[in-house]
Chain A
Amino acid sequence: MKKLRLAIIGLTACSGCQLSLLNCEEELPGLLDLFEFHLFPMACSPALLEGEYDAALVEGCVSTPHERELLLELRKRSQYLIALGTCAVWGGVAALRNGEDREVLRQQVYGQSRIACETAEPQPLRSVVRVDAVINGCPPEKNELLGLLADLARGTLPAEIDYPVCTECRMRENLCLLTEGDKLCLGLLTSGGCKARCPSMAVPCEGCRGPVPEANLAEAMELYAQKGFDRITVLERLCRFYPEWKL
């Protein structure tokens, strides 16, 4: 069988999605039977963007003119382009103060110096290119990443997850951290697929996988209000990974 040619690239991000792949220690050697990691600068030399790719897996958000160009180029060269992780899908942590004056934020870090003045508000990939599939999570779960690669090997793409963290949390019969623990848990608005990793260790969901399709924000807000959490606190917490909640 011909190996699938992959490009794995990080834009503005922490490299955690790419590291999640390198953290598949047991599976990594076996993956080499199915895939050629042609462009993967974090782990392979040299970094050459050439020819066409069966799939491009892109981590991170877009925050510079160069990243925008690179993304367009990857789109042109790839049959499938996959947004890997929450920054690529939703904007992520880097975008949490989008909507505020970026120049003011820049000056808080760099003062009057002109360093980094070419950068813009971090945006998810779909603001620049068509995205064929998404893998949520900060970081993504290893099994979803391996599932994506298995799907690609079969010539398909993973389906969108349409249930919230709450669904998996109930299946694990956890104590509800919101209704029974009075904690600000975002599981009911957040896309599932993590098997309720955090609530299962008694840590409230921080919403790292972005909004679940058809999230009922109004109803959730009522529930949060009953538990004594005001709207601003909840929205601020929600915006940690997806700034558009405030709209």
Chain B
Amino acid sequence: MPLLPGVEAMNNIKKIDMLTRVEGHGSVELVKDGGRVVDVRLNLHESPRLFEALLVGRRFDEIPDIACRICAICSTVHKVAALQAVEQALNVSISRRIALLRELAVQGGQIESHALHIFCLALPDYLGVNGFQGLAVHAPEKLQMGLRIKKLGNLIQEAVGGRAIHPFNLLVGGMGKMPGADQLQRLSGQLSEICDDVAASIAYICSLRDLLPHLAIAPVCAASGGPSLFGDGLLTSTGLNIAASQAAVWLNEEIESNTNAKVSHFSENTSFMVGPLARLMVSMPQKYVHCFPDHSIRSSLKARIVELKMAVERAQLLIEQLLADGQGKEQPVTVVISKGEGTSIVEAPRGTLLHNYCFDSRGICTAANIITPTAINQGAMANSLKELIAAMDGADYHQIRGAAEILVRCYDPCISCAVH
């Protein structure tokens, strides 16, 4: 039985049965004419949970708890994005310590997600194995190294958020329990210890042979804050600077018949790409320029490992600042409920994430809009797939099919997020 609906070959269309080693449910459809693959389509089949409808009618302080359930891998960044949007709507300001801790949690999520993708989901392609089971046999030391890095990302998320998935300790205006200085110092030590693994990983990932032909990168956009992953707007490689409040209009999401995720059409009608490569293209630290000789989608794994290193360094810096600031008593925040609207933009591991909420004078949510990286990337992914089959014209069906799956993984899609 097929694992996705309607996956049986129909006429000259062959679908790749359910994409694997990605989050959620999707497939790629290859259209054949005789022996040639002539077209390709990406399908995101995920069943919508209708989060934007579920949130309407709930009180402001429930929004982050519910919205983070959109996705597990990205739950910390969903939680933080939702908190910021709610706080903006209700004019709640948070202390510097809370802001630093939230960013620390987001960097922890970045480390965990990138390590998961690099070492469990993508690396098997390069070594010709089926997944972590194959890695455990053929490259056990690489798997162990990846899992050590991944675990540290989770330890950071747990220390701040209380839990690696669906963090509960991050609240509107503050936190439940602050991590103590001893906990932060322990994390700092663990971050120092992981640096050798991260350096070895960069060298290793950069040494892997390319699996795909050169495919150009679409115009890119990312939150304006650079390595902090936060920002009050979007910067694009085409020179635009878009305020957060205008971002949803610029992204211009529309409903299309072939996908359950809304598709961004952008004001320019050009598809933009978001994610690790996009962030680096927007603000590339000089020391990594040599890792990206060709501006190509196939460099996405390198972009992830470089970003992973940046996240480790950033986490160390944040902990240093937290320890230097000391552990003074946090003043409880009183929320004055009022009518309002808030929008926040945070860079999730897979790219730009936007949460927007409106509240009435009782603090009840009247409208919600959530735009996720994988939804934004749909156009760029579809274009890349088309370029791939053009570049591989004449190749065997099975080769194209394999390459298409690897190409989709370059975008590390998170389909639960995309559809929500």
> Which one, A11, A13, A25, contacts B147 given CB within 8 A?
A25
Question: A198–B168 contact, CB under 8 A?
Answer: yes
Size of the chain B interface, CB-CB below 8 angstroms: 65
The smallest C-beta distance from B79 to any residue of chain A, in angstroms, reads 12
- How many angstroms between the C-alpha atoms of A52 and B124 in the bound complex? 25
Q: A25-B148, A197-B163 known; A14 and B255 CB under 8 Å?
A: no
Q: Mark B155-185, 1 if CB is under 8 A from A, else 0.
A: 0000000111110110100001100000000
In the assembled complex, B213 has its CB within 8 A of some CB on chain A: no
Helix, strand, loop or mixed for chain A's interface? loop
Proximity bits, B131-146, A CB within 8 Å = 1, else 0: 1110010001001100
Q: Produce 1/0 per residue, B22-35, CB < 8 A to A.
A: 11110000000000
A144 on interface, CB distance cutoff 8 Å: no
Q: How far is the CA of A94 from the CA of B3 in the complex (A)?
A: 21
- Nearest CB in chain A to that of B137: its residue: A32
Q: Does A67 contact B (CB under 8 A)?
A: yes
Instruction: Assess whether A22 is interfacial by the CB under 8 Å rule.
Output: yes
B260 near A14 with CB under 8 A, answer: no
A65 to chain B, nearest CB (A): 8
Distance in angstroms from B354 CB to nearest chain A CB is: 16
Chain B interface, >50% SS class: loop
A109 and B50 contacting across the interface, CB-CB below 8 Å = yes
One of A17, A25, A40 near B151 (C-beta < 8 A)? A25
Residue among B47, B73, B75, B405 facing the most chain A CB atoms (10 A cut-off): B47
Instruction: Output the least CB separation between A22 and chain B (Å).
Output: 7
In the bound complex, residues from chain A placing their C-beta under 8 Å from that of B132 are: 22, 28, 43-44
- B150 proximal to A (CB < 8 A): yes
- Which one of A10, A23, A96 contacts B154 once the chains associate, using CB atoms below 8 Å? A23
Measured CA separation A113–B164 after assembly (Å): 37
**Among B13-21, B200-208, B316-324, the stretch in contact with A:** B13-21
- A20 to B23 CA separation, bound complex (whole angstroms): 13
Q: Lowest 6 A-B CB distances belong to which pairs?
A: A16-B72, A44-B131, A203-B176, A94-B49, A66-B5, A108-B53
5 A-B pairs besides A14-B69, A16-B71, A108-B50 with CB distance below 8 A are A66-B5, A70-B1, A198-B176, A201-B168, A206-B168
